[in-house]
Every structure is written in C-alpha cells, then in structure tokens.
Amino acid sequence: MADPTPTPLTLADRSAIVTGGGSGIGQAIALLFAARGARVAVLDVSAADATLEMIRAVGGTAMQITCDVSRQAEVERAFAQVRDEYGDLRVLVNSAGVAHIGTIETTTEADLDRMYAVNVKGMYNCMRSAVVEMKGRGGVILNIASVASMVGIPDRFAYSMSKGAVLTMTLSVARDYVQHGIRCNCVSPGRVHTPFVDGFLARNYPGREAEMFEKLSNTQPLGRMGRPDEIAELALFLCSDAAAFITGSNYSIDGGFVALKM
C-alpha cells in the first residue's frame, strides 16, 4: 500500500536557475524556491539586486547573473557558472519574456523578431543547455507560457505566436527526454498584476489607471488579476517531487479565463 503521507514541497539541496528573475513572476518564483531550500541562480538581462536582497532576507542562497537569453553564448556561460558554483543543475524555470500589443497589421518585422528572439529562441537556448546538463541525472524544466497560447486574445498576434511556441516546445522536450529522467511542463497564466501591467497602464491610460485596471481584472471570471506569488506556488509544486508523475502538461492559472469564458 502506498504511503499516504503527502510529499513535502521542498527543493532542499537543489540548484535551480530562474530566468527573468529580476521582477514579476520570475522574482516571486526565485524567492519561493530559495525559501524552500534551493540554491537559486537568478538570470536577468538587467541587474536583479532587489531579488537577491529579498532572498537573503529569508535566509536563502542565491546569485545573480546578467544574461541575455536570446544569445546562446551568454546562456552557455551562465549555465557553466551555475554548475561551477552550485553543482549539477536540477531545476530550470524559463520565466524571461517580453510582451507586445498589436494585430498582424500593426506588428512590424522588428516587433516579430523581438518576440521570437526572447520568447522563443531564449527558451530554446535555456532548455538546450539544461537538457545537456540533466541527461543521465534527471531534472525538471518549467516554462512560463500564457493563456494566449490556447485562446485568441485581441491585439496579441506576435505575443500569441511566441507563447504558442512555448507550449509546443514544452511538449516536444517532454517527449524526447522522458526516458532521460527529465520532466518538462508549462504553466499558462492569465493576467497577473506585475510591474509590467502598471507600466502599461501608466503609458497608455494616464489618469485612468484605476479604471482600466478594474476593466482588465474583470476579464477573468474570478474578477481580479492573479498575483505573482500564486504562480510561484504552482511552479514550486511542479518542480518538486510531489509532481514526480507529471510531465508534458500545461496548467492554466487564470482565474477561470480559458475554461469559463469560452
């Protein structure tokens, strides 16, 4: 008879890389992982001092590496540095990403190239390095996709393209490396209240920020945006041994947006 005792959600003594960990969802994931015992390497194109301060305040272990995930050589150097300092990589969370608003007509070639470089090629670069390190030892890869990978959202042509690729890359890696002991999943958040949202509202709706924030929040059946720490809790579960039987899966965390709005 199986042991009914729940598996604790811990990442103790495991090295983890979180890309895009300087703010928003990535920052929340890095903080929670460190609080649960992981040695966390925060990769971000900008300095992540605030994330490191938060981690150290809870007694966690972390380092930051400035890295443009769209550049393969930078990613390979960053992964090698993590391996040298923290040992074998056990967990990768691909949270680095950029957004774009526009239809196919208003999306320029440069806009499309930027989405591809970060959201698609950046994921590829990081997963490629992770797979090379995890083969033979096992590990977990978690990619941050979006509800835009599953349903049509107005004015999100390039962003939806990139997040659709994240979903299918997740399935491909999960299938190709399941026998190598590598689990690969993704989560698809709906609207989450991050600094990006505040900046978007300030730029596009000056003086109407509160009104538009409420309007965006109400597009989700639960009537509010998600919080970064809520995404982090799901990420912790999927990267822990409690989810040892889960691979090749996509989890919506969207206040009912996909299931209840269709």
Provide the annotated active-site residues. 159
What is the widest separation between alpha-carbon atoms in the chain? 62
Dist. CA 249–CA 90, nearest whole Å: 19
Rama region for 255: left / alpha / beta (φ>0; ψ in -120 to 50; rest): left
The 8-class DSSP code of residue 6 comes to P
Query: How many other C-beta atoms can be found within 10 angstroms of the C-beta atom of residue 181?
Result: 13
Q: Residue 7 in 3-state DSSP?
A: coil
3-state secondary structure string across 29-54: HHHHHHHCCCEEEEEECCCCHHHHHH
The values of phi and psi at residue 19, to 5°, are -85, 155
